[in-house]
Amino acid sequence: MMLASELRLHGVRVVVVEKESERPPHVRSLGLHIRSIEIMDQRGLLERFLEAGTQYPAAGGFGGVHKPAPERLDTAHAYTLGIPQPVTDRLLAEHATEAGAEIRTGCALTGLTQDDYGVTAELSDGTRLRGSFLVGCDGGRSTVRKLLGVDFPGEPSRNDALLGEMELTAPADEVAAVMTEVRKTQLRFGAGPTQGGLYRVVVPAAEAGSARQPTMEEFREQLRAYAGTDFGAHSPRWLSRFGDATRLAAAFRTGRVLLAGDAAHVHPPLGGQGLNLGVQDAFNLGWKLAAEVNGWAPAGLLDTYHAERHPVAAEVLENTRVQSEMLNSAPVRGLIARLMDFEDVHRYLVGQVTAIDVRYDFGSEQVLVGRRLKDVRLKHGRLFELMRTGRGLLLDQSGRLSVAGWTDRVDHVADVSEELDAAAVLLRPDGHVTWLGDDQQGLEAQLSRWFGSPSRPA
């Protein structure tokens, strides 16, 4: 839905094919980290999310070690937004629909073929769709990835857990007391109240690597094994199983077919990074794919999607593997906890989990180039309000530069900010800095690199 909205922002016709007839009730993701919150702000969606969610202090923990987040994080949104995944799904679907995306539910992809001019998708209702490109956002068991034959190497799960929402007959204070005691030695255990009088329960599974759907009796057995009681668990709303397997697609692009989100990478849900990583994939890909469809993309622009996002996903897989090891070892947790007392270490880990430290390699030694620019205050407003068009942006404090030739793709704003120590910065539509300085010739080289050839004067 995020990708569909980004494409519609550039006038690209989009069809979203969703095999489920109704939105699943599963609450797998519990919130948004800083970078995803910034993305919602950059597209004018944040107020909707704030109304539906709850703000908490920014995430400062890592692998079962809980510490307050470092002060003065490089963001104007130093908080975590607690919001259940079904609500996030709904808000993004509403936004995509408002933007003009066509959404077909109850219809699965069954086959695809591609040629030099486009992709043909075969659907479960017997119809076919023809488009310039196809993107598989269809999860860890991605049909698109399998049809492409893309390798999905990685490590199998060594620790599985059961997760579900259900009713408990035990009193709330008893559940809380038992959970607190069990979590002194078993951090993969938890039981907390959620919406509708239900409890969200997680407990280690008896075996790893199983694809079998868990049963309520299996939940009760594992609860008794770890907590000495099953809390009178009954009437599950949904049950699932997850592990700590890590896998990363060998290629995020194969011709005119691309992968995003869990279709491109799977990892343990530690640190709550999964949904956030997928949203950020879409934000990186959307404007590039639109540029290709609309005919102004410079050579190689679409290939930068894999070049930029594959390393980011690899780092997330690595940090979730580390966190998984920490949950299994008190000595390792103790060591990491002591290291996190060094502010640079703590800030580095928080920057990884919240994605505010992502820096793409643009071949520049300037520290800011390749990073996203936070929402700086300007004399006449703020940066993120200027980015809602989805276009590139030259923020020009000198007032002497020009984007002539690229005005159909790049906005030019002459304004000043006390928070920005540069004469001017050129931002991509995803907010990452491609250039800073005061040299018109250098600016035009980067405009050509990211936004294609200049248009001829009328």
Q: Report the relative pairing of strands 410-414 and 392-396 from DSSP bridges.
A: parallel
In this predicted structure, what is the pLDDT of residue 117? 95
**Domain 161-242 part of CATH 3.30.70.2450:** yes
Provide the CATH topology of domain 377-451.
Glutaredoxin (3.40.30)
| Number of neighbouring beta carbons within 10 Å of residue 213 | 9
Cα-based angle 355, 92, 2 (whole degrees, multiple of 5): 55
* Digitized pLDDT (tens) for each residue of the chain, 458 residues in all: 999 999 999 999 999 999 998 877 666 777 899 999 999 999 999 999 999 999 998 878 898 898 999 988 999 999 999 998 889 999 999 999 999 999 999 999 999 999 999 999 999 999 999 999 999 999 999 999 999 999 999 999 888 999 999 999 999 999 999 999 998 888 889 998 987 889 999 999 988 877 788 999 999 999 999 999 999 999 999 898 888 899 999 999 999 999 999 999 999 888 888 899 999 999 999 999 999 999 999 999 999 999 999 999 999 999 999 999 998 889 999 999 999 999 999 999 999 999 999 999 999 999 999 999 999 999 999 999 999 999 999 999 999 999 999 999 999 999 999 999 999 999 999 999 999 999 999 999 999 999 999 997 64
Position 27 scores a pLDDT of 65
pTM flag (> 0.95): no
> CA 439, CA 418: separation in Å to the nearest integer?
21
pLDDT at 429: 98
Q: What is d(CA 224, CA 216) in angstroms, rounded to the nearest whole number?
A: 12
At 264-287, the pLDDT tens digits run 999 988 888 889 999 999 999 999
Model pLDDT, residue 385: 96
Task: State the pLDDT at residue 291.
Answer: 98
Instruction: Name the burial class of residue 370, with classes exposed (0-12), middle (13-18) and buried (19+) by CB atoms within 10 angstroms of its CB.
Output: middle
CA distance 56 to 83: 11
User: Using an 8 Å Cβ cutoff, are 128 and 104 in contact?
Assistant: no
Which pLDDT does position 171 carry in this prediction?
93
Domain boundaries, the chain: 2-154+247-354, 161-242, 377-451
- Residue range 2-154+247-354 forms a domain whose CATH class is alpha beta
